[in-house]
Amino acid sequence: MSDSDTTMDAGGGLRTPIVAVLGHVDHGKTSLLDKVRGSAVTSGEAGAITQHIGATAVPLETISDIAGRLVDPDDFDLPGLLFIDTPGHHSFSTLRSRGGALADIAVLVVDVNDGFQPQTLEAIDILKRTQTPFIVAANKIDTTPGWNPNPDTPVQQTLAEQSDRAEQRLNESLYEIIGELSDNGFSADMYWRVQNFRGNIGVVPVSAETGEGVPDLLAVLMGLSQRYMKEDMSIDTAGAGAGTVLEVKEERGFGTTLDVVLYDGSIRTDDTIVVGGKNDPIVTDVRALLQPRPLEEIRTEKRFEKVDEVTAAAGVKIAAPDLDEALAGAPVRVVRDRPEEEVVEEVRQELADISVDTAENGVVVKADTLGSLEAIANALEEAEIPIVRAEVGDVAPRDVAVASTAEEVTEEVILAFNVDVLPDARQEAGDRNIRLFEDDVIYQLIDEYEEFVDEIEREQQ
């Protein structure tokens, strides 16, 4: 695989828009991504998709192949779409409001039978806060009673061809979703009636099972990117790379590595990089840039191959010394053509913008990424709950030690979002009577804590 294969460089300096897929658990995020990948593979285009670290790139020709008459490649000069592979919390909590959003555009997946659920609302909150444009994939339309699938035509037409009963049933569900969006402050409608996608949310009925609506979804994503976001996609491919850490991972033979989505410029094997860390920004030299090998080789050979350069937008694994303290959700910058100190200062500033205000007394919060930590801190602030310590990472004994110094029972508490509790920390929390609240839905985590506070207050009266 050559470098140009992995990056889909348009030549004209336009990069691939980065797409995140969000939504409530079980509403079909993974299935939808799989369907997009599957459709790309079966479209028969040579090199239909390229698998990146943490992302999948679908080139314009393949999108046009899948979408048929809905996408005429001559109308577009964007190179395709890059889908972030880890759907749900992980990618959306890493969406950054400042210093470069990870995703340019989002697909909010909503199960037509289930409607809006806590993580749907949570996703909407984050999309609002980060001002990320999005569309809604109203998924599982195939489960509508009496639905007569026709995967080969655009879904608007299929919908019109249903029996009256099926059409009516589905329309009811779809209008419920449109109503929920409107309750949340968005003007929304079925995508074929939306003229201006800037500020108006298009709803695309889809089935991740049959593939119906996938062509429509890709067409709307391409249209939206091409019409409204072209300026944001213009990059200097030779410029210093900028990206966001998706994950910090041990990798055999490479030590601690970073899975990064690069959204600007390029990164090369001889580059020095600055990465957001637990304390100060980390300055280190790239040891290797790694891409996944083609799928069929994974089992027979080593999983990664080394590449010399990666150009945005792309997912890449970076191996380098001293990454142990790196943070998921933190910025990564290549030092090129300007002083290292300036880049370090920029990363430090960006981290300071994210970091959470802590008080002298309050609860301990642990979360999986900087983005989720920030989202929880905002929610706690709204609920007027003070925080004494907020960090990315698993719950460790030292967190229990901090919680034990609290003056109030209601503050002898650790809120753990999407992280593990280390066994000795759990043991110690038990011994010291420290309450652990664990959840992967922000609203629920805070609700559980507030119920506990209410209970304590009732007891004290």
By the criterion CB under 6 A, which residues form the site for ligand GDP? 23, 25-31, 87, 139-140, 142-143, 207-209
Is 87 annotated as belonging to a binding site?
A: yes
278 marked as binding residue:
no
141 annotated binding-site participant: yes
Of 31 and 244, the one with the shorter C-beta distance to ligand GDP is 31
Q: How far is the CB of 118 from ligand GDP (least distance, A)?
A: 13
**Cis peptide before 313, with omega less than 30 degrees from 0?**
yes
Judged by beta carbon, residue 142 or residue 216, the one nearer ligand GDP is: 142
Nearest approach in angstroms of CB 446 to ligand GDP is 22
Q: Is 142 annotated as a binding residue?
A: yes
User: 319 in helix, strand or coil?
Assistant: strand
123: which 2 tokens? 């996703």
Instruction: Provide the minimum distance between the beta carbon of 284 and ligand GDP in the complex, in angstroms, as a whole number.
Output: 34
**358 three-class SS:** coil
* Min separation Cβ 31 and ligand GDP, Å: 3
Cα–Cα distance between 232 and 345 in angstroms, integer? 24
Shortest distance, position 341 Cβ to ligand GDP, whole Å: 43
Q: Which amino acid is at 351?
A: L
- Residue 249 assigned as binding residue: no
Q: How many CB atoms neighbour CB 168 within 10 A?
A: 12
- 436-446: b (≥16 Cβ within 10 Å) or e: bbbbbbbeebb
Q: What contacts 123, CB < 8 A, 6 or more positions away?
A: 22, 23, 24, 92, 106, 108
Which CB sits closer to ligand GDP, 92 or 197? 92
Closer CB to ligand GDP, 25 or 359, in the complex: 25
**Is 85 annotated as ligand-binding?**
yes
Residue 27, marked binder: yes
Nearer to ligand GDP, 27 or 96 (CB): 27
53 is annotated as contributing to ligand binding = no
Q: CB of 24: closest distance to ligand GDP in angstroms?
A: 7
**257-261-266-272 Cα dihedral, nearest 10 degrees:** -30
What is the closest distance, in whole angstroms, from the C-beta atom of residue 25 to ligand GDP in the complex?
5
Residue 149 Cβ vs ligand GDP, minimum distance, rounded to whole Å: 10
Residue 420 CA to chain centroid, in angstroms?
A: 20
Containing H/E element for 250? strand 242-251
DSSP track, 64-110: HHHHGGG--GGG--S-EEEEESSTTHHHHHH--SSSS-S-SEEEEEE
How far apart (Å, rounded) are the C-alpha atoms in residues 343 and 341?
5
In the bound state with ligand GDP, the residue whose beta carbon lies nearer, of 30 and 43, is 30
Instruction: Report the alpha-carbon distance of residue 123 to residue 37 in Å, rounded.
Output: 23
Using CA atoms of 248, 249, 250, 251 in order, give the dihedral in degrees to the nearest 10. -130
Question: b/e per residue, 381-412, with b = 16+ CB within 10 A?
Answer: eeeebebbbbbbbebbeebbeebeebeeebbb
139 is in an annotated binding site: yes
Measured from the CB atom, is 28 or 59 closer to ligand GDP? Answer: 28
- 331: which DSSP letter? E
- What are the residues whose beta carbons fall under 8 Å from the beta carbon of 309, sequence distance 6 or more? 3, 266, 267, 268, 269, 289
Provide the 10 A C-beta neighbour count for residue 175.
14
Residue nearer to ligand GDP on the CB measure, 15 or 140: 140
For 383-439, give the DSSP string. Answer: TT--EEEEEES-B-HHHHHHHHT-SSGGGSEEEEES--B-HHHHHHHHHHT-EEEEE
Q: In whole angstroms, how close is the CB of 278 to ligand GDP at the nearest point?
A: 30
| Residue list for the binding site for GTP | 23-30, 85-89, 139-142
| Residue list for the binding site | 23-30, 85-89, 139-142
